[in-house]
Structure 1
Amino acid sequence: MISCLVAFMGNVLRLLYGQCCKPAADSDAAGYHGVTPATVGVSALAQDLYSFEITSQVPQGLGTHVVSSKKAQANWYRKLSVAWRETKPPPITPEEASRLVILTLKGHQKADVEGLLTFYGLPLPHILVELTTVTPPSRPQGLKFELYTLPVDAKAVADGDTITAYVSTTDQRESAVVPKEVQVAAVQRSKARAQKNYDKADELHKKIIDLGYRVIQVQNQEVLARKYRIRLRGIDAPESKMDYGQRAKEELTNIVQGKCLRVLVFDEDRYSRFVADVYCNGIFVQESMLKKGLAWHYKAYDQRPELDKWEREARAKRVGLWASSNPQMPWEWRKNKREGR
C-alpha cells in the first residue's frame, strides 16, 4: 500500500507538471501539497527516488523518454538515490536537481541523461546557467553606502527586481540615526510584552512599523531593524501581471530567501527605493536574473557592458522569457498601462 501511494504521488506531480508547468507558461497554480510550478519537477524526482528505495521500480512512462533498458534505468535511480541523500541540503531548485542528475550520470549516454531530465521537466545541460562567484569591488564609482541585511523573508520579494530587506540597528551606520521616538517605542513595547500586555505591544509595534522600522525575530532573539526597499540596479524584470512575471519573482525569491545580502547602494529612485547592486553568498544577483532570461538589461539607466553580455547570452540560448519570439518589454508595458492601452 505504501509503495503504491508513493508511486502515485510521483505520477501526480509529473501530471501536474505537464498540465500547469510547461516552460513557456507562467502560472500561479500550485502543485501537489502546495508545490509551486517552479519546483514540481524536483518534487516528482524526489518522490520517485524515495519510491525506488522501497520498491526497486522505476516510474512508468520513463521508457518513452530514454533509450536504455529497464535494468540500466534501475542503475541510474540507485545512483541518484544515493547522491540525493548525500547532498546537504538536498536540491531545491530545478537547476540544482538538474546538476545533480548530470553529475551523477556522467559517462552515461547523452540521450538517456537528457531524456531523464525531460521526463521531469528539468533544465537540459545546454541551458543551465554558469554563474561567476565574485567579490564586490570595495569602492566602486558612484557608491553612496553599503548595507548588510538580516535574512530576507520570501514575502519581502515584490517582483523580479525589487526586494524589501531589513538592517539591524546595531549596525554602526544605523545605530547613530535611529529616531528617538522609535527607540522609545521599542523600549515601551518590550516592557508591555514583559507585562503580557500584548494589545499595547502590538500598538507600539505598529507605530515602529509606520516609522520605517520593525522588530524581527532572528535566532530566537528580537532585533530592531530598519526597512529598506531595494531596486536591483541595471535590470528590469517583467511586472507581476506580465508573462514570466511570476517566474521572475519566484527565481529572485529562490536566490535571496533566508539569506543575508550585501547591498551596494548607488541611488534612490522616485519611489523611495534604493537602487543597488545585490550580492548573495558570493553571487551577483543581477547576473543570475539576466543569465536565466528573467530580466532585461535596463540600458536606459545602466550602460555596463557585462550586463548587456549576460542578456545576449540568455537570448542566444532562448531561456526564460527569450523562449518567446517577441517578449514585451516591461517599460513599454508600464507605458501602455499609464496611457490606458
Structure 2
Amino acid sequence: MGNAILRCLRGDSDDYRPHHETQTSVPYWTIQVNVGLSDLSNDLNNFSITSQVPGGLSQYVASSKKAQIYWYKKLHEAWQESSLPPRTSEEAARLVVQTLRRIQNADIEVDASVIADGDGLSVYVDTAYPRESANVPREVHEAAIERTEAQAAKDSARAHELLKIIKKAGYRYIKGHDNKFTLARKYRIRLRGIDAPEMAMTYGQESKEALVKLIQGKSLTIHVYGEDCYGRSIGDIYCNGVFIQEQLLKRGFAWHFKAYDQRPEFANWQKEARLARRGLWGLPNPEKPWEWRKTHRNELTKNNNPIQVY
C-alpha cells in the first residue's frame, strides 16, 4: 500500500507537502506539485475494504484514531462522488486539498449538556473533530492514552488519577450515539445578541425551559465570534437550520441585547413578540435583565452567589 496521505502528513514527499505549526497540529494543506495517484487510490481502496487508516499514521499526528478515520472517510466519499475521478496526480492533489480544507473549516457540531439559563449553556465538543483534535494539549492526549491502558489493566486507582488530570484541563468523556465514550472538551457558550431573565427573576425559569426544549440533547452548529471577560464563547446557535436566538426573541423568552448587538432583525423579532404580548411581554412591567443585575449585584455577592454584569 502506498500510504500517500501518510507521506503527506509526515512531510517527506517532495510532491505534496503539508505545513506543520507544531507537532500536535493538524496540518494546513498546500499544493506543491502533485501526489501519487496510484498510491492514494490504493490507500482509499484499502480503507473502503478494511475501514483502517494506514499503519503508523498515529506516529506523526496527535489526532485520535477516530479523527483519522473521519479524514479517510471524507476523502473516500469525495473520490466516489467526483463526477470524474482524478486521472492525474495534480487532480488527486486538488481533491485532497479541497476535502481536507472543508473538514478543517466545517462548523463544529456539539451536543448541549448543561443549560445554565435562557442565554447560556455548556457544551462538550468531541475531540474527534479535526479542528478540535488539533488543540488537545499533549498532557491530556497522553493522560487519555495512559487511562485506556490503566483500564485495560484494571488499575482503577491509576485510571481515576488520570481522569482527574483530564477533567482539570477542561475535558471529560461523553457517551455517543454508539454508546461508546469519547474524549470531549467543555466550552461555555453565551448566546450572542440576547439577554434572558436571570433565574431569580420573574420568567427566568420559563426562559431556561424554552432554551432546553430547543436544544437539549440535539446536535448544534455554533458560530463563535469572540470571548467575553468571563471566558465564555460568544456565538450564534443553530439547530437543524433553526436560528435559536430568533426563536427565543420571537417567542418572548429573551430581550434584544442592543448594547452589544445592533442587528436590526433582532429588534424586529423583539418588536413582533412585544406587540403580540408573547412570553415575558405578557407581564405588566417586564424588567430588563441588565438593570436587575445592577440592582441586585451587592445583595447576591453577599450571599456567595455572584452575578455577571456586562
| TM-score calculated relative to the size of structure 2 | 0.60
> CA 1:329–1:275 in structure 2 vs 1: closer, same or farther (change >3 Å)?
same
Counterpart residue type for residue 255 of structure 1: L
8 Å CA contact 1:147–1:167 kept in 2: the answer is no
Q: Which one of the candidate residues 157, 171, 181 is aligned to 2:129? A: 171
Cα separation, 2, equivalents of 1:320 and 1:309: 16
Deviations 1:167-219 (A, max 9, x none): 12121211222101100111111122222333332332222111011111112
Aligned: 1:245 with 2:214: no
Counterpart residue type for residue 236 of structure 1: D
User: Structure 1 residue 325: deviation in Å?
Assistant: 1.5
User: Structure 1 residue 258: deviation in Å?
Assistant: 1.3
State the match for 2:223 in structure 1.
264
State the match for 2:157 in structure 1.
199
- 1:260-299 counterparts in 2 under 5 A? 260-299=219-258
Aligned: 1:208 with 2:204: no
State the match for 2:144 in structure 1.
186
User: Structure 1 residue 298: deviation in Å?
Assistant: 0.1
8 Å CA contact 1:169–1:225 kept in 2: the answer is yes
Unaligned ranges ≥5, structure 1: 1-144
- 1:219-234 counterparts in 2 under 5 A? 219-234=178-193
Counterpart residue type for residue 207 of structure 2: A
SS, match of residue 261 in structure 1: strand
State the match for 1:152 in structure 2.
112
User: Structure 1 residue 146: deviation in Å?
Assistant: 6.7
Aligned: 1:330 with 2:289: yes
SS, match of residue 228 in structure 1: strand
8 Å CA contact 1:168–1:226 kept in 2: the answer is yes
- The higher-RCO structure (CA 8 Å, 6+ apart) is 1
Cα separation, 1, equivalents of 2:156 and 2:204: 39
Cα separation, 1, equivalents of 2:266 and 2:141: 42
Counterpart residue type for residue 204 of structure 1: L
The alignment covers a number of residue pairs equal to 195
Cα separation, 1, equivalents of 2:296 and 2:288: 13
RMSD: 1.6
Deviations 1:47-105 (A, max 9, x none): xxxxxxxxxxxxxxxxxxxxxxxxxxxxxxxxxxxxxxxxxxxxxxxxxxxxxxxxxxx
SS, match of residue 151 in structure 1: strand
The share of aligned pairs that are identical, in percent, is: 52
Cα separation, 1, equivalents of 2:141 and 2:295: 45
8 Å CA contact 2:122–2:186 kept in 1: the answer is yes
